Each structure stands twice: as C-alpha cells, then as structure tokens.
Amino acid sequence: MSKVVFCEDDPMIRKLVQTALRSTTHDVHIAEDGKQGLALIEQVRPDVVFSDVAMPEMDGFEMADAMRARSDLAHIPIVFMTASVQREQIDECFRHGASGHLAKPFTMAELRARVAQFSKN
Amino acid sequence: MRKLPRSLRLYVAASTLYAALIFIAVQFIYTIELAQSGIFIARRDNGDLLSSIQLVSFIVWLGISLIAAVVMFRLATALAGAQSAEAEAKTSEEQKDQELGAIFGLSSALAGPLSLEQIGAFFVAAVRAALPPHTTIALIVYDDVLEAFRTVAADGPHADELKDRSYSAVALPSIVRIRVIDHRQSLVIPDTSAEKAMWTKVSEEMPAVAGAGSFAALPLVSRERLVGALLLLGERAGDLTPDKAQMPVIMGQYVAGSIHSALAVNEAEARAERETLVNRIAQRARGTLDPDEILRATVDELAKVLGVTRAVVATGDSEAKLEVIYEWTADGEPSVGLGPRDLPVSRLAARLGRTLFVTDIRVDRRFSDPKTAAALAPLGVIAIAATPIRIGGRFAASLALVHTDRPREWTADDARLIDSVAQELRGAIAAAEAFEQQRQAVAELERLSRAKSDFVSIVSHEFRTPLTGIQGFSEMMQSEDLTIDEMREYAGDINKDAHRLNRMITEMLDLDKMESGHMEIHREAVDLNVIVTEAAESMRPNAPRHPVSLRLDPLVGEVSADRDKLTQVMANLLSNAVKYSPEGGEVVVSTRLEGNTAHVVVRDHGMGIPKAALETIFERYGRVESLATRHIRGTGLGLPIVRQIVQLHGGAVWVESTVGEGSVFHVTLPRGATVRPEVAEAAS
C-alpha cells in the first residue's frame, strides 16, 4: 500500500480527490496549503506528493523547494496540479523538481493512473 | 669731333671729288675754246685772262667745299644730337622693362593656386622694391567669411602693428572707407603734417598708422569687386607721392585677380565646410531617432565648426523655466552644468522669438542691469549667439553658442549656419518626439495586450478550479456505483461550483458594464455603518483567523447609494484585507464624517503594496504579479469593480501602503444625492 499526500486549498477539489481515491488501496493524506503539506510529508513520508501551485501561506513551489533542501525528503516525487496549460508554467513546475504534471480539470481515470504510476508495486 | 656715319663721309668725299672734276673740266673747256677762238695765243696778255678764269673757278670750288663742310657739320651735329636722344630714350625704356619685368614676374609668380598669405608675401616684396626703404606696406583683403578686412601681409617698421588684425568695414578710418573702399579711388597723402585735421582723425580711427609721414591707401579691384586695399606708410613726408604710388597701383591690378581667386577658393571652402556640416548633421539626425543622440551630434559639430568655447542646449515649456539638458565645452569640462539654470540671453532670444547675437556682453546695454549682470557673471559669457527652437509653434528649446575667451562679431554666415542647424535640430527633435509618442503608445498597447493575456490566463485558471469539481463529480456520478445520498451530495457540490463559476462570470460582465457606462445604480438612503457592519459579519465565518474590528462614527448616518453595490464594495475591500494579511493580522474598518463626505477606511496588516502598483491595482488586469501574490486566488477584478462603483456614486477610492506593514484603503462618498451627470445619463 502506497502513501500519497495531496496539497490543495480548494475544498471542492480536496473532496473530489478524497472521493475518487476512496475505492483504491492508497493511503491518502490531504493538506490545505504548503505549510500543512510539508508537516504532513514529514510525518507520513509518502511515496508521492500531489500539490496545487497557488495556495495561501506557502505555495506548491515553495513547498517543493523546502523538500529539496531536506535530504530526508528530497527523493520524494512531486506531481503539480495546475489549472494552467501554458508551456512556461508547466516548465516552471519541472524547474522546481516536479516528477509530473496534472492539468486541471482532470478526469478521475487520469488522477488514479497518475497516483498508481508513482506508487510502489 | 664725333664720329660721322660712314655714308656721310662717303658723301663728303664724293662731292669733293665731283667738285674737283668739274673744276678741271671747266678749265680744259675754257682752254680749248680760247685756243680755237684764237684768243688763246701765247701772249702775255692772254695769260691774265686765263689766270683770272682759273681764280674764279678756284673760288667757286672753295665756296662749294665750304658750303659742303658746313652742311656736313650741321648734319653731323644734328645726327649726334639725335643719337644721344635715342640713347636716353633707351635707358628709360630699360627701367620700364625692369618694372614691367617685376610685374610680369609677379603675375607669373601668382599664376599658380596660392593662399592669400603667399600672394600677400609676393606682392609686398614686389611693392617694396618700387618704394623708398622704410616704407611700411600692408595688404588687407576683404574676408567674406569674417565679413571684415584682415591683414594678410605686412612689411616695414610699422608692420607689427598691422599684422594679424581684422577690421570690420566700420573699423577702418572713415576717409579710407569712403574714398578707397566705397569709391575705389586711391588716397595719397604725401605729407601727413600738412593735412593736420584729416590726419588727426585718421590716427584716432586707426592708431597703427599714426606715426606715418606720408600715407597711401590703394584699392584693389578685380572684376568689379573690391577685394582689398594696399596701405602704405611713408617714414617721411614725400616718401609717397601720387607718382610713386603708380607702381604699386599697377602691381595691384595684377594681384587683385589672384586675391579674388584665392578669396573665392576660401569662401567656397568655408561654404563647402558649412554645407558639409549641415548635411552631416542632417544625416546623423536622420540616422537616429534618439533625441539625445541628435542633440549631441548636432551641437558638437556646430560648436566645432564655429570655433566657440561652449554650447548649451536648454529645454523648457516657457522661456522662464529653462533647464540645461546638454552642454558641450571645448575643453570637455562641464561649466554651466545640467539642470535648471538662469540663462538671460537664451531667455531674451526665446521671448523675442529670434536668434540673438551679442558681440561682447560686458558692454552690451541689453544685459547691463544689475540683476541680469549678476545672473551672467558666473557663466563667464563674453560673446554669445542664442537661438530659440520652436516645435509646432510653441517654444521647446534654446541653443546657445558661447565664447568665454573673446568677443566675437557674428557674421551673416554664422547666422545662416546657426539657423540651418537649428532647423535640423527642430525637425529632428519634432520627429523624435513624435516617434517617442508613437513608441509610448505602442508600449502602452503592448502592456495592455500583455495584461489582457495575463488576465485570460488568470481567469482561465480561476474558471478551471470549479470546472475540476464539476467535471470530477459528474464523472463519478456517471461511472460509479453510488447511493442516492452520494448522488445528491455530489449533485450539490456540482451546483456549488456552477454557482461559483457564475459569480465569476457576473463579476467580469459587471465590470465591463460599468466601464462602458451601462451599469445602473439604484439609489436609496443607506446607512453606511449598517452596510459596513453587515459586510464584516458576513466575512467573519470565512476568515476565522483574522480579527475584524469596527470603529464606526455614528454621525456618518445615511448616504444616497445603491445598497447592493455598496455592500459589494465593502465585501471586496474586506475580503482583500483578509486575503492579503497573514493569519492573526487585524483588519480595522472605521467610518467618519468629513463635512458632507462620508469616509470609510479599511486598514490591514498585510504584505503591503509596492509604490509602483498603488494605482495599477485599481485597473482591470492590474493585480500585482509577484512571488508574494502567487498564492492569492482571484480574478483581480475586485478593486477595479470597487473603483467603478465608488466613482458611479461620485466618490473616490485610493490606497496608502507600506510594503511589509500593511495597506490603508480609503473610500469617500458624498452624502447628498449628488449624482455625476454621466451616471445620471447612464442610469436613465
């Protein structure tokens, strides 16, 4: 069973993710912003992190940078979920060490496939 | 006795022989005749007759010989006299030949292309030979570029006082000016002490010649043009007479042509140089559209060609407020300096609307009042030419060319040059200004276009968030086994996101409506404090971690406003204050009455707004894009909507902010039913 941390400030999307992954075997943890997310990651040590970019307190990129600065968290892959499909913004995600990108709005199949891709076994 | 010509001697010998033959023949004939006639008888008495005939014959011969001798003597004398006259004539001719030779030598020396100075040296040397020693000779020519006479060559005791001088026409002694320059007649004063009154005046007007005992001024005319004059200063009275002046006059006729050519070359060169300058300036001006570059190039070139020591360009909307924007100095050291300066000459030129020429400002009465003199003193100006540059009929700039080293008589050529350069400058500056305006317009369009695409990107981002919910939940309802309760719940979520989407669209459309003046406002008496309180109350559940405190002045009371719109204003301001403040950051809303104006202040302790963005945040698409606001959600339409609504009510909204400390938003609303005319129109 793989552990997944989601960081998303929009309550509706949080609920959607939770609902969509309920039927899977993944251990899903959800944070409301980057700050909460970082604390959760430290605690859970997930196999993969899915994160929004625009969030209050600490945004997704700042959270990613903070993780890269920590030797014990640096190896955890991050997938950014952005509403933008602009080339530059997707490039920026990868500059911040993203392992993947998920464009909003996404389908449930897409979401599950992405989660499965980064899960163990 | 002088030698007689051979022909004459032959003639004398022949005539003597002839006379002797006649005598013998006559004697012989007589003898025969007498013998035949029988008279010649060997008688003693006959012998008397014969000897008397012989005697008569001898006397006749002697007479003839004597007459011949006298004639011959007379002839010889006459001939000898004639011969000596001829010799005399020959000597004077030789002298003339010599003088002519000098002139021919001079004219052949002048055949090639020569500078004025070379011509002058030849000329003075040639004239020197024809005049008594110790005569001072000076050649002055009319320099069209200087528009004055200048000494090109001088020789003699007083030469030093005449060398390297220039004389404007009025600086020459009046008699020389009138007689020699104007009427092109020679002026010869053989004895200056005999013409006391006249000479005193000449000496005053031209001190360099005062010491002369005799004086001559000879015009040099070539092809109807007076090219210069020869000044001769005799050491003693009588050194120069009209006779002695003849030679220099003749030589002068030869030299005048050469001087004319040399002058023409000089003038052509000067003109060509100036034309080249104007062309070069025009070219450089067309080569660039940067007004500063045009200015630099033009002013540098002009200053160098004119040989001034300083050139200053000052701009200003009026002559009273001149600001130096460019300065050129011969030594490269700034002297006036950039910035606002009091430039009296430029100011006067601007007021008069024409170029102003000052030969020597220290003696110019136009600038002698104490205030002007005080302003001029630190500038060190001596000679100056200042020209105003007008663009589109209004004063735009002033160009000043300055001598700090010496006075200068500005010539018509200088004036033409300055004027043509000013023309170029004017055209170039006008073109560059137009280009600059165009460039700004384009930049503004680009900014708008960029803002618009940013806006599209922000909006699409904001739209996609509720869309994600709608799409996700509907997908699950479609494909998964759900209970009826789950179905209901998800349908409710979809509905919420749909409303959210709708609200965003409404906001955008509202702003469009307000901006195009199609928004209606429904005024009624509204208690401002109530509106503020309600907005704060509805905000609190959404911002549990931001304390919102109210400081309301009960005197504010009612205002004439659209209740819903005013509520929207307060909600937007409050949600911004919360959104941009860290958790726990207090938000304070206060109201107060100022005269007939209600004033609402919303103070937050958030990140603050950079100075450059204080105005743009009220513009559509104007949200400050920075690292700090990246995590802030929103279409960026909140503040533009606030401003539109407040303005529709005849009020004003602005912000004060310190980055890192927080922002204070101010809204003022007139309490009375004052409605802006265009709003009333839009509302009707």
For B660-678, the pLDDT digits (tens) are 888 999 999 998 754 444 4
Answer for the pair B628, B606: CB distance below 8 angstroms, yes or no: no
**φ and ψ at residue B381, rounded to 5 degrees:** -75, 135
Q: Are residues B596 and B633 both part of a single domain?
A: yes
Chain A environment of B472 (Cβ under 8 Å) = 13, 16, 20, 105-108, 111
Answer for the pair B513, B675: CB distance below 8 angstroms, yes or no: no
Chain A environment of B489 (Cβ under 8 Å) = none
Tokens of B262: 């040399």
Cβ of residue A24 closer than 8 Å to a chain B Cβ? no
Q: Do A108 and B465 touch (CB under 8 A)?
A: no
Answer for the pair B281, B421: CB distance below 8 angstroms, yes or no: yes
Q: Are residues B315 and B399 both part of a single domain?
A: yes
Residue among A13, A84, A86 minimizing CB distance to B468 = A13
Residue among B464, B476, B496 minimizing CB distance to A12 = B496
Check residue B570 and give its pLDDT. 92
Q: Are residues B77 and B122 both part of a single domain?
A: no
| H-helix or E-strand spanning residue B486 | helix B484-515
Check residue B49 and give its pLDDT. 67
Cβ of residue A90 closer than 8 Å to a chain B Cβ? no
Q: Are residues B543 and B657 both part of a single domain?
A: yes
Answer for the pair B53, B30: CB distance below 8 angstroms, yes or no: yes
Q: Do B476 and A13 touch (CB under 8 A)?
A: no
Residue among A19, A55, A104 minimizing CB distance to B631 = A55
Query: Who contacts B71 (Cβ-Cβ below 8 Å, separation ≥6)?
Result: none
Identify from A102, A108, A112, A114 which residue to disrupt to test chain B contact, counting B C-beta atoms within 10 A and taking the largest count. A108
Identify from A6, A8, A10, A12 which residue to disrupt to test chain B contact, counting B C-beta atoms within 10 A and taking the largest count. A12
Q: Is the pTM of this model over 0.95?
A: no
Residues 43-72 of A with CB under 8 A from B: 53-59, 61
Answer for the pair B213, B162: CB distance below 8 angstroms, yes or no: no
Q: Do B473 and A13 touch (CB under 8 A)?
A: no
Domain count, chain B: 4
Query: Who contacts B445 (Cβ-Cβ below 8 Å, separation ≥6)?
Result: none
Cis peptide before B113 (omega within 30 of 0): no
Check residue A66 and give its pLDDT. 92
Distance from C-alpha of A92 to C-alpha of B460, rounded to nearest angstrom: 18
CATH of the domain at B615: 3.30.565.10
Distance from C-alpha of B305 to C-alpha of A73, rounded to nearest angstrom: 74
Residue B478 lies in a domain: no
Q: Do B631 and A58 touch (CB under 8 A)?
A: yes
Residue B464 lies in a domain: no
Q: Do A53 and B497 touch (CB under 8 A)?
A: no
Identify from A9, A15, A19, A59 which residue to disrupt to test chain B contact, counting B C-beta atoms within 10 A and taking the largest count. A19
| H-helix or E-strand spanning residue B346 | helix B344-352
Q: Are residues B543 and B648 both part of a single domain?
A: yes
- From first to last of its 121 residues, chain A has per-residue pLDDT tens of 789 999 998 888 999 999 888 888 889 999 988 899 999 999 999 999 999 988 877 888 999 999 999 999 999 999 999 887 777 778 888 888 888 899 888 988 899 898 988 876 4
Check residue B494 and give its pLDDT. 93
Residue B354 lies in a domain: yes
Residue B631 lies in a domain: yes
Q: Do A105 and B464 touch (CB under 8 A)?
A: yes
CATH of the domain at B380: 3.30.450.40
**φ and ψ at residue B625, rounded to 5 degrees:** -90, 115
> Which domain covers residue B528, as residue numbers?
517-683
Answer for the pair B115, B122: CB distance below 8 angstroms, yes or no: no
Q: Which residue type does B229 have?
A: A
Tokens of B621: 């698409």
State which residue of chain B sits closest to A84, comparing Cα positions.
B461
Provide the 8-state DSSP code for B170. Answer: G
Question: What b/e sequence results for B198-226 when a residue is b if at least 16 CB atoms lie within 10 Å of its CB, and e otherwise?
Answer: ebeebbebbebbbebbbbbbbbbbbeeeb
Q: Which residue type does B167 have?
A: Y
DSSP states of B577-626? HHHTS-TT--EEEEEEEETTEEEEEEE--SS---GGGTTGGGSTT----S
Q: Do A59 and B630 touch (CB under 8 A)?
A: yes
Cβ of residue A87 closer than 8 Å to a chain B Cβ? no
Please provide the CATH number assigned to the domain covering A3-106: 3.40.50.2300
Check residue B664 and give its pLDDT. 93
Distance from C-alpha of B200 to C-alpha of B192, rounded to nearest angstrom: 9
User: CA A116 → CA A6, A31, A37, A100, B282, distances in Å?
Assistant: 14, 20, 20, 13, 73
| Closest chain B C-alpha to A90 CA, distance in angstroms | 13
Give how far the C-alpha of residue A75 lies from the chain's centroid of Cα atoms, to the nearest Å.
Answer: 14
Tokens of B313: 């360009």
| Sign of the four-CA dihedral A20, A21, A23, A29 | negative
Residues 94-113 of A with CB under 8 A from B: 104-108, 111
Q: Are residues B143 and B248 both part of a single domain?
A: yes
Q: Are residues B286 and B244 both part of a single domain?
A: no
Terminal-to-terminal C-alpha distance of chain A:
8
Which residue stretches of chain B have pLDDT < 70?
Answer: 1-8, 34-50, 87-113, 144-147, 169-170, 282, 284-291, 428-429, 432, 620-636, 673-684
Q: Are residues B528 and B655 both part of a single domain?
A: yes
Q: Are residues B95 and B130 both part of a single domain?
A: no
Check residue B347 and give its pLDDT. 83
Residue B507 lies in a domain: no
Q: Do B472 and A13 touch (CB under 8 A)?
A: yes
Chain A environment of B457 (Cβ under 8 Å) = 84, 86
The residues with which B593 forms a beta bridge, in sequence order, are B598
User: CA B289 → CA B247, B278, B297, B326, B394, distances in Å?
Assistant: 63, 17, 12, 17, 21
Q: Do A16 and B472 touch (CB under 8 A)?
A: yes
Q: Are residues B607 and B569 both part of a single domain?
A: yes
Q: Do B630 and A23 touch (CB under 8 A)?
A: no
Query: Who contacts B339 (Cβ-Cβ below 8 Å, separation ≥6)?
Result: B323, B324
Nearest Cα residue to B144 out of B255, B302, B266, B256? B266
The residues with which B390 forms a beta bridge, in sequence order, are B395
Residue B468 lies in a domain: no
Residue among A16, A58, A84 minimizing CB distance to B469 = A16
- Domain boundary residue among B101, B136, B157? B101
State which residue of chain A sits closest to B634, comparing Cα positions.
A54
β-bridge pairing B225-234 and B587-594: unpaired
| Closest chain A C-alpha to B531 CA, distance in angstroms | 28
Per domain, the residue ranges of chain A are: 3-106
What's the residue count for chain A? 121
Q: Are residues B263 and B315 both part of a single domain?
A: no
- Domain boundary residue among B413, B438, B463? B438
Chain B environment of A57 (Cβ under 8 Å) = 583, 631
Nearest Cα residue to A73 out of A39, A121, A112? A39
Chain B environment of A33 (Cβ under 8 Å) = 631
